[in-house]
């Protein structure tokens, strides 16, 4: 991953001091992880998804390096209210009563925020925060790409900062009440442009929020999120509306009927906005009031470990081991955020005969594995499955980063609430008790979840025995958390003492073995006679009263190409443009990164041909000002698989918003 930087920057950026952390969403493209289990639903590895992510990470590091300058980092902490609840409270209650009594809630509400300030100008340039809530406001029924509630929070934060910073330099519109009749007449006089050729840079220049204009980066990172759901209204049976079974999260024995409800229920996009808004609001509060300056040493430690056979020393001279990766039946049951396969429930202690037979066709677990994973029944022994290549990881990285009094624990999975608390406490106790390294009671420890790779869940020993989804997805057996705590203690001790720690292990490179069953775009089918790419199939339907109002949905459909031809990673497929009052220039005001604008791609089948269609939908937001608008689409197409790409654009007829 970091090889290009070794060539470019020498040993400045390495696996040891760079952490790559995911925010978590069920609404993103898949196929970029190398282990087979995580690419089954995408028909194998998808090179395009992988390249898009890697290139974006690379460009982020390059641009950050190019903008390095002296500065100050402030830290602040505070609770985010009603952004997450525990989706497995019955498992949480298995933890010791005395331990649970030390906390006010069965989820961690605290957000830790860093505020970055340019040392020369004194201008704030970014903020980075950690808070534990799943990125599952969007359900598995959603087919649109979304950064979920973390992405919504980030966009809101960056827009908030930019609007404040540019308050005196934005385009000034007349404060007079517009003449709606004149606006309607002007809109009716402006027709659609039809499909027109354009170059690739055009779509990038029309991005509302250009990289070159970005004044601020607001990042919302994940923490010990394992059992925390943003569906804060609770889980209910879809057939009766009654609460689901407390222990099993099912309805009359059917887990597929048990669904979590977000605060905007039944509108999951509204739920996404609300949970994002709650995180954003707390981040702004912490950002504007941050006073504690991070100072002191910058340090890091990282090591690769084979988690399938770690010997763990427990109290009383007891030694246990971790296991090869395996999943239990609770994994197949899914969660209230996304129910799984009918016939499984969270908490299942047995696997029926039919599923065992199907399991054994893939791989019958070894007697050692069955015994090691107890009390979890083994549904899939992924750690023993290596055909056509490894199904699950064995070698994992763990990492500690230090910024003065802040210590960041990079973990390759999803710790439950109590598992995260135990890890944080163990690391802090180790650092402080050593008496070296400048660590003290003011040291603050955060968990950066889903970092550097992915290995599913980490539940406590007590939660593991309850066999809900999180426990059934704890790969390396009942002592997985104890292994993490033991090995992080070793890293912490080495950091406190100033010692170097390392290993000869490294994860395998499975790229030569990857299954790649998703085909590249084959080229577009011939369009109907007289139709060009970018032409309208369905124009905006003008409202009866002549104007749209806030809350209305405006839509248009274009003849288009496959969006996988070119991803427009730093550009856009769709914008809403507004006509300036002098009537001479269109300016983009919303793009497909905004939660109010939707870009939808579909295939329109005919008897002998098919056409790619792009539909743009705009939900007119509350902050939209009155005026003349239009929808504009950017795309690319090729007439056959190896043909030269053609870039095009098209626009709807103008319409008014009053």
Q: What is the C-alpha separation between 112 and 220, in angstroms, rounded?
A: 10
How many helices (H) and strands (E) are present in the chain, helices listed first? 15, 29
Task: Report whether 479 belongs to an annotated binding site.
Answer: no
Helices assigned H by DSSP within 224-328:
268-289
Cα–Cα distances in Å, from 373 out to 346, 474, 607, 637?
17, 10, 54, 51
Strand partners, 86: 228
Q: What is the C-alpha separation between 261 and 246, in angstroms, rounded?
A: 15
Task: Report whether 134 belongs to an annotated binding site.
Answer: yes
Q: What is the C-alpha separation between 334 and 315, in angstroms, rounded?
A: 34
Task: Report whether 24 belongs to an annotated binding site.
Answer: yes
Q: For residues 223 and 420, is the Cβ–Cβ distance under 8 A?
A: yes
In 501-625, at which residue ranges do the beta strands (DSSP E only) sit? 536-538, 553-560, 574-579, 586-591, 597-605, 610-619
Cα–Cα distances in Å, from 367 out to 210, 309, 370, 473?
57, 16, 5, 20
Cα–Cα distances in Å, from 327 out to 36, 81, 335, 384?
14, 33, 14, 11
Q: What is the C-alpha separation between 488 and 478, in angstroms, rounded?
A: 18
The pair phi, psi for residue 481, each rounded to 5°, is -65, -40
Q: What is the C-alpha separation between 225 and 481, in angstroms, rounded?
A: 15
Number of Cβ within a 10 Å radius of residue 181? 11
Task: Report whether 35 belongs to an annotated binding site.
Answer: no
Q: What is the C-alpha separation between 350 and 378, in angstroms, rounded?
A: 9
Which residues make up each annotated binding site?
A: 24, 134, 414, 457
Which residues make up each annotated binding site for Zn(2+)?
A: 24, 134, 414, 457
């Amino acid at each position: 991953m970091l090889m290009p930087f070794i060539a470019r920057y020498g040993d400045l950026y390495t696996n040891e001091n760079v952490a790559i952390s995911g925010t978590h969403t069920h609404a993103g493209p898949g196929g970029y992880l190398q282990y087979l289990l995580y690419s089954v639903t995408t028909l194998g590895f998808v090179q395009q998804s992988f390249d898009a992510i890697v290139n974006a990470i690379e460009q982020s590091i390059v641009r950050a390096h190019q903008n390095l300058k002296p500065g100050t980092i402030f830290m602040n902490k505070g609770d985010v209210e009603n952004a997450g609840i525990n989706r497995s409270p019955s498992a949480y209650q298995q933890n010791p009563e005395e331990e649970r009594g030390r906390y006010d809630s069965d989820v961690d509400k605290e957000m830790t925020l860093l505020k970055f300030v340019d040392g020369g100008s004194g201008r704030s340039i970014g903020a980075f925060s950690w808070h534990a809530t799943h990125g599952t406001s969007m359900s598995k029924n959603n087919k649109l790409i979304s950064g979920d509630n973390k992405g919504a929070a980030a966009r809101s934060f960056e827009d908030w900062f930019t609007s404040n910073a540019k308050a005196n330099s934005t385009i000034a519109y007349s404060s007079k009440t517009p003449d709606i009749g004149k606006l309607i007449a002007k809109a009716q006089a402006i027709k659609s442009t039809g499909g027109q050729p354009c170059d690739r840079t055009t779509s990038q220049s029309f991005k509302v929020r250009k990289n070159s204009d970005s004044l601020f980066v607001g990042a919302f990172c994940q923490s010990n999120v394992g059992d925390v759901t943003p569906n804060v209204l609770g889980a209910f049976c879809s057939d009766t509306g009654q609460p689901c079974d407390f222990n099993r999260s099912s309805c009359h024995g059917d887990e597929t009927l048990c669904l979590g409800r977000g605060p905007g229920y039944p509108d999951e996009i509204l739920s996404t906005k609300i949970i994002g808004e709650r995180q954003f609001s707390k981040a702004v509060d912490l950002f504007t009031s941050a006073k504690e300056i991070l100072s002191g040493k910058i340090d890091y430690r990282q090591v690769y470990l084979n988690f399938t056979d770690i010997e763990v020393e427990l109290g009383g001279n007891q030694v246990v081991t971790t296991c090869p990766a395996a999943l239990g039946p609770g994994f197949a049951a899914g969660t209230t955020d996304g129910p799984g396969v009918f016939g499984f429930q969270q908490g299942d202690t047995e696997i029926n005969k039919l599923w065992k037979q199907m399991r054994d066709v893939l791989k019958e677990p070894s007697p050692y594995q069955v015994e090691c994973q107890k009390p979890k029944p083994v549904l899939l022994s992924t750690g023993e499955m290596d055909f056509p290549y490894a199904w699950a990881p064995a070698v994992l990285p763990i990492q500690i980063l230090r910024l003065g009094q802040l210590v960041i624990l990079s973990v390759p999975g999803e710790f439950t609430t109590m598992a995260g608390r135990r890890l944080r406490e163990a690391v802090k106790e180790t650092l402080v008790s050593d008496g070296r390294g400048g660590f003290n009671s003011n040291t603050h420890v955060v968990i950066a979840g889903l970092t550097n790779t992915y290995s599913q869940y980490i539940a406590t020993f007590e939660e593991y025995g309850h066999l809900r989804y999180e426990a059934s997805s704890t790969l390396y057996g009942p002592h997985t958390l104890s292994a993490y705590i033991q090995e992080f203690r070793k890293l912490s001790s080495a950091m406190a003492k100033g010692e170097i720690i390392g290993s000869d292990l490294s994860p395998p490179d499975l790229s030569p073995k990857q299954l790649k069953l998703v085909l590249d775009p084959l080229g577009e089918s011939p369009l109907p006679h007289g139709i060009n790419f970018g032409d309208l199939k369905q124009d905006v339907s003008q409202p009866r009263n002549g104007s749209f109002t806030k809350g209305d949905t405006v839509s248009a459909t274009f003849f288009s190409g496959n969006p996988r031809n070119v991803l427009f990673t730093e550009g856009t497929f769709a914008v809403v443009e507004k006509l300036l009052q002098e009537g001479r220039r269109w300016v983009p005001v919303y793009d497909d990164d905004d939660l109010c604008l939707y870009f939808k791609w579909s295939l329109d089948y005919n008897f002998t041909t098919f056409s790619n269609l792009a539909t743009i939908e705009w939900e007119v937001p509350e902050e939209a000002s009155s005026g003349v608008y239009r929808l504009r689409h950017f795309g690319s197409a090729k007439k056959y698989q190896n043909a030269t790409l053609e870039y095009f654009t098209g626009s709807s007829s103008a319409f008014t918003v009053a």
